[in-house]
């Protein structure tokens, strides 16, 4: 028995070591750094400030704005991607001509690197040569994401929806195909129409998968970086300076390591809280079903 | 048969080019002997994707490898990535890179942290320094890469001005000249002050609209990107008489009440002008960085502007990329009253003498081999060809080369301007904390450029934040 235990520990030791090296130690180092005022270019070196960085965070208007923007972005993207993905997934349960081609084209954005997506949209939205501003101008809309803050914001939402709705669709398609047949047969016997079947059979059965997909999308949109960095770099002004962009500018450009560490920890905490809330919700809904 | 002839032609061409290249090496035996101990070594470097870096990667590095047997892995990447990767390597001491691009403004930070290898002992070592290296032949730009004791920490490979560029063909068109005079009451010519520049910008933008052509009188690098902060600090403010990023280098403070000039009336006037002028630039101007400003000028859509003139080589000679070949004029930028006189007296400057050098990180693993490559890129006999490929001059003798003299008129007299008026421009001020500073400047400048707040309010806030940062950093 003891020998088995030792063998088990021996087998998981490499994984544990790796986790400690790449997961635990960096987090501990960030916790340590967050207690200091530390900039690489500082003459005074590292100065211990206790919880001062966290206090500063709560009153930092730039950070709070970027957090607000980031959360608005998350809510908007998820509110569009989830119903849209569900709609497409449902439509793809029907047989129609060209279904295979449609499904392939639809999933193409998923195969592209986020940085390429950003570059592609830079060209599409370029006010001088881009087709989107060109056609919008023809219908009287002056579209310029270098100038108009709202347009820039909604363009980043559009890019995210374009990029990630296929992911939602694919996940939900997999979910739909794994649902049991009996409830549908029962609904048919009871004389339920398509909408009633969807509302009272499909949706409740799909709920855990829907919530899991939503959970993944919330995490992903909250830390969006590459596409927005390429497309607007956080601009115009601070219109699309989401929290991840704000953080990168602080760390890589300003080299404010102490304050950035405190910010990272706060964001980690926020993410954990969001995960916990969602997981609790998913578990309770599973129990109820 | 035909295929065979093609292969033979390619082989002959390669051999021919190889012979041509080696003909440019003054002392090939020395290079081979000096490199003997490092044969087979792989040296790694990183640089920004600029024409000089590309010339080094595509021409200098392969020739160096062929002659010395030292392999060069030269990563040419975006400006941001180049900085981030270099700084991470320097800071961690990992020794990933054997040579790095040291931009003129970052060297003060690197020196402060002791991140670079002192090259003076290398230069004095005849076993690894070619006899014709000739340190005295470098232009005064090399002085920006020395410490207080005169030790050299990097060898320049690019130096250029950000100056005024205009469409000679438009300025010399009699009909346009007549229309301009009728409208403004004076002759259309290269502007010497900002009012004239504004009139010309307005005139050509309206002219473009009237004629239904894509032509604008102004261009700027106004994207929410570090470049917008550099544009203000490097070319707009100096030409309005605000030097050193508006920071008083004695008190190390920026606000007017602490001795700085960053939120002075003149700085605000210049910034207000900058923001207002964007209406005369192409609609996409707020998405432009330094690359797009040159590209849009090359597309023939701009009548005048201030751009990084490292681009003038391709603008003036590459028909695949430029629509303005033979149409380019280059001149000093316009200035506010008294600024040019201050520059001539050595009390100020009208813009940046920008550029960079190759240095060796303190943690580099193959310092001697890297030093050989740096010398190879800086060797005298290659400089004219290098200048042709990448429009940069770092050695005095290059200006007198027949190749450069022949090229100069094609480039609107750029090399002459660099040689004769270069002293009116200056390198970046000695601000070791310029990275975090740039970020704060970017934040407030881009807010005003986007119209979130007024330029005046932006500068008051900026000056206050700069003062605070300086204090926090121990200055």
B20 has pLDDT over 90: no
Structure tokens that stand for B323 in this block: 């629509």
Q: What is the mean pLDDT of residues A211-235?
A: 91
**Partners of residue B285 in chain A, C-beta under 8 Å:** 146
A257 has pLDDT over 50: yes
| pTM above threshold 0.90 | no
- Contact assignment for A254 to B435 by CB distance below 8 Å: yes
Q: What is the mean pLDDT of residues B366-376?
A: 97
What is the distance between the alpha carbons of residues A192 and A188, in angstroms, rounded to a whole number?
6
- Contact assignment for B226 to A253 by CB distance below 8 Å: yes
B12 has pLDDT over 90: no
pLDDT in tens, B204-252: 999 999 999 999 999 999 999 999 999 999 999 999 999 999 999 999 9
**Partners of residue B89 in chain A, C-beta under 8 Å:** none
B4 has pLDDT over 60: no
What is the distance between the alpha carbons of residues A198 and B468, in angstroms, rounded to a whole number?
60
**Partners of residue B443 in chain A, C-beta under 8 Å:** 62, 238
B260 has pLDDT over 50: yes
With bands split at pLDDT 50, 70 and 90, how would you rate the model's confidence at A5? confident
Q: Please count the CA atoms within 13 angstroms of the CA of B400 that sit on its side-chain side.
A: 7
The beta-carbon neighbor of A252 closest among B84, B223, B443 is B84
Q: What residues are paired with B356 via a beta bridge?
A: B103, B158
B274 has pLDDT over 70: yes
The per-residue DSSP string of A143-199 comes to: --TTT-HHHHHHHHHHHHHHHHHHHHHHHHHHHHHTS-SHHHHHHHHHT--HHHHII
pLDDT in tens, A47-89: 999 999 999 999 999 999 999 999 999 999 999 999 999 999 9
Contact yes or no for B440/B465 (Cβ under 8 A): yes
Residue B287 touches chain A, beta carbons under 8 Å: yes
Residue B446 touches chain A, beta carbons under 8 Å: yes
Out of B77-86, B340-349, B406-415, B461-470, pick the least confident. B77-86
- Contact assignment for B449 to A236 by CB distance below 8 Å: yes
Stretch (H or E) spanning B77 = strand B71-77
What Cα–Cα distance (Å) separates residue B458 from each residue in A105, A249, B33, B405, B452? Answer: 46, 19, 59, 46, 9
**Partners of residue B226 in chain A, C-beta under 8 Å:** 253
What is the distance between the alpha carbons of residues B286 and B268, in angstroms, rounded to a whole number?
20
What is the distance between the alpha carbons of residues B119 and B373, in angstroms, rounded to a whole number?
13
The C-alpha of B284 sits at a distance from chain A's nearest C-alpha, in angstroms, of 5
Q: Which residues contact B421 (CB under 8 A, 6 or more apart)?
A: B332
With bands split at pLDDT 50, 70 and 90, how would you rate the model's confidence at A96? confident
Q: What residues are paired with B103 via a beta bridge?
A: B356
The beta-carbon neighbor of B450 closest among A126, A149, A256 is A149
Q: For the packed helices B265-277 and B455-472, what is the interaxial angle rounded to 10 degrees?
A: 120
**Partners of residue B112 in chain A, C-beta under 8 Å:** 41, 43
Q: Which residues contact B49 (CB under 8 A, 6 or more apart)?
A: B76, B77, B78, B79, B82
Residue B81 touches chain A, beta carbons under 8 Å: no
The beta-carbon neighbor of A128 closest among B113, B223, B284 is B284
Q: What is the mean pLDDT of residues A119-140?
A: 93
Q: Please tell me the predicted confidence (pLDDT) of residue A254.
A: 85
Contact yes or no for B369/B41 (Cβ under 8 A): yes
Query: Strand B304-308 and strand B353-359: pairing?
Result: unpaired
pLDDT in tens, A174-190: 999 999 989 999 998 98
Residue A37 touches chain B, beta carbons under 8 Å: yes
Nearest chain A alpha carbon to B111: A41
Instruction: Note the residue count of chain A.
Output: 289
Q: Please tell me the predicted confidence (pLDDT) of residue A269.
A: 92
Q: What percent of chain B has a predicted confidence (pLDDT) above 90?
A: 88
Instruction: Note the residue count of chain B.
Output: 475
What is the distance between the alpha carbons of residues A193 and A182, in angstroms, rounded to a whole number?
16
DSSP B433: T
| B window 5-64, beta carbon within 8 A of A | none
What is the distance between the alpha carbons of residues B365 and B113, in angstroms, rounded to a whole number?
19
Stretch (H or E) spanning A272 = helix A257-288
Q: Please tell me the predicted confidence (pLDDT) of residue A289.
A: 60
Q: Which residues contact B307 (CB under 8 A, 6 or more apart)?
A: B162, B165, B219, B290, B293, B294, B297
With bands split at pLDDT 50, 70 and 90, how would you rate the model's confidence at A288? low
Q: Please tell me the predicted confidence (pLDDT) of residue A102.
A: 87
Structure tokens that stand for B338 in this block: 């008294």
Q: What percent of chain A has a predicted confidence (pLDDT) above 70?
A: 98
- Contact assignment for A43 to B474 by CB distance below 8 Å: yes
The beta-carbon neighbor of A238 closest among B225, B283, B447 is B447
DSSP B26: S
Locate the DSSP E strands across B314-386: 328-331, 353-359
Q: What residues are paired with B165 via a beta bridge?
A: B305, B330
Residue A239 touches chain B, beta carbons under 8 Å: yes
Nearest chain B alpha carbon to A235: B224
B18 has pLDDT over 70: no
Contact yes or no for B328/B67 (Cβ under 8 A): no
Contact yes or no for A163/B466 (Cβ under 8 A): no
Q: Please tell me the predicted confidence (pLDDT) of residue B192.
A: 97
Q: Please tell me the predicted confidence (pLDDT) of residue B309.
A: 92
Coil/strand/helix, residue B353? strand
Residue B80 touches chain A, beta carbons under 8 Å: yes
pLDDT in tens, B436-468: 999 999 999 999 999 999 999 999 999 999 999
Residue A232 touches chain B, beta carbons under 8 Å: yes
The C-alpha of A143 sits at a distance from chain B's nearest C-alpha, in angstroms, of 10
- Average pLDDT value for chain B: 92
Residue A40 touches chain B, beta carbons under 8 Å: yes
- Contact assignment for A146 to B474 by CB distance below 8 Å: no
The beta-carbon neighbor of B473 closest among A42, A235, A237 is A42
């Amino acid at each position: 028995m003891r020998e088995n235990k030792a063998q088990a520990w021996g087998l998981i030791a490499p994984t544990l070591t790796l986790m400690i090296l790449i997961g635990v130690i960096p987090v501990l180092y960030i916790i340590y750094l967050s207690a200091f005022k530390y900039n690489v270019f500082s003459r005074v070196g590292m100065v211990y400030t206790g919880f001062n960085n966290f206090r500063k965070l709560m009153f930092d208007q730039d950070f709070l704005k970027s957090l607000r923007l980031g959360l608005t972005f998350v809510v908007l993207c998820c509110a569009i991607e989830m119903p849209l993905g569900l709609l497409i997934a449902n439509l793809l349960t029907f047989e129609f001509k060209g279904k295979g081609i449609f499904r392939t084209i639809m999933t193409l954005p998923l195969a592209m690197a986020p940085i390429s997506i950003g570059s592609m949209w830079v060209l599409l939205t370029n006010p001088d040569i881009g087709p989107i501003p060109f056609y919008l101008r023809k219908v009287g809309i002056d579209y310029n994401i270098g100038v108009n803050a709202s347009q820039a914001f909604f363009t980043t939402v559009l890019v995210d929806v374009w990029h990630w709705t296929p992911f939602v669709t694919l996940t939900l398609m997999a979910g739909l195909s794994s649902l049991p047949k009996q409830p549908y047969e029962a609904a048919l016997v009871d004389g339920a129409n398509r909408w009633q079947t969807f509302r009272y059979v499909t949706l409740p059965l799909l709920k855990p998968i829907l919530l899991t997909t939503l959970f993944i999308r919330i995490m992903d949109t909250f830390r969006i970086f590459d596409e927005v960095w390429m497309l607007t770099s956080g601009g115009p002004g601070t219109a699309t300076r989401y929290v991840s962009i704000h953080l990168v500018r602080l760390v890589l450009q300003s080299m404010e390591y102490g304050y950035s560490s405190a910010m990272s920890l706060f964001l980690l905490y926020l993410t954990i809280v969001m995960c916990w809330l969602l997981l609790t919700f998913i578990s309770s809904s599973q129990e109820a079903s | 048969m035909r295929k065979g002839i093609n292969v033979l032609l390619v082989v002959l061409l390669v051999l021919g080019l190889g012979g041509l290249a080696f003909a440019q090496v003054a002392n090939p035996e020395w290079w081979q002997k000096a490199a003997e101990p490092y044969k087979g070594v792989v040296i790694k470097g990183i640089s920004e994707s600029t024409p000089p870096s590309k010339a080094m990667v595509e021409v200098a590095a392969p020739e160096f490898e062929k002659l010395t047997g030292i392999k060069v892995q030269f990563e040419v990447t975006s400006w941001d990535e180049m900085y981030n990767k270099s700084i991470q390597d320097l800071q961690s001491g990992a020794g990933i890179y054997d040579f790095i691009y040291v931009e003129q403004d970052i060297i003060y930070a690197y020196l402060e942290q002791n991140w670079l290898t002192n090259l003076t002992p290398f230069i004095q070592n005849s076993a690894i320094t070619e006899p014709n290296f000739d340190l005295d032949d470098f232009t005064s730009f090399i002085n920006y890469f020395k410490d207080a004791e005169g030790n050299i920490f990097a060898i320049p490979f690019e130096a250029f001005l950000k100056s005024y560029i205009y469409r000679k063909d438009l300025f010399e068109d009699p009909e346009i000249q007549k229309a301009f005079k009728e409208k403004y009451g004076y002759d259309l010519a290269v502007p010497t002050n900002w009012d004239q520049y504004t009139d010309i910008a307005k005139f050509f933008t309206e002219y473009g609209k009237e004629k239904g052509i894509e032509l604008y009188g102004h261009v700027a690098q106004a994207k929410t990107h570090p470049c917008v902060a550099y544009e203000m600090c490097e070319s707009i403010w100096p030409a309005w008489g605000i030097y050193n990023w508006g920071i008083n280098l004695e008190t190390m403070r920026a606000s007017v009440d602490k001795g700085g000039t960053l939120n002075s009336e003149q700085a605000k006037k210049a910034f207000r002008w900058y923001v207002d002028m964007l209406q005369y630039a192409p609609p996409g101007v707020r998405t432009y960085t330094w690359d797009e400003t040159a590209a849009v000028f090359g597309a023939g859509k701009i009548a005048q502007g201030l751009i990084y003139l490292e681009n003038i080589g391709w603008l003036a000679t590459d028909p695949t990329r430029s629509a303005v070949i033979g149409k380019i004029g280059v001149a000093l930028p316009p200035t506010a009253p008294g600024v040019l006189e201050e520059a001539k007296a050595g009390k100020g400057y009208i813009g940046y003498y920008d550029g960079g050098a190759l240095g060796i990180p303190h943690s580099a693993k193959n310092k001697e081999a890297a030093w050989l490559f740096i010398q190879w890129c800086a060797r005298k006999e290659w400089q004219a060809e290098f200048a042709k490929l990448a429009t940069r001059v770092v050695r005095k003798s290059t200006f007198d080369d027949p190749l450069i003299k022949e090229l100069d008129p094609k480039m609107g007299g750029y090399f002459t301007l660099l040689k004769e008026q270069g002293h009116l421009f200056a390198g970046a001020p000695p601000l070791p904390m310029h990275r975090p500073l740039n970020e704060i400047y970017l934040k407030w400048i881009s807010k005003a450029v986007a119209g979130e707040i007024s330029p005046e309010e932006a500068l008051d806030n900026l000056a206050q934040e700069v003062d605070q940062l300086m204090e926090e950093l121990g200055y």
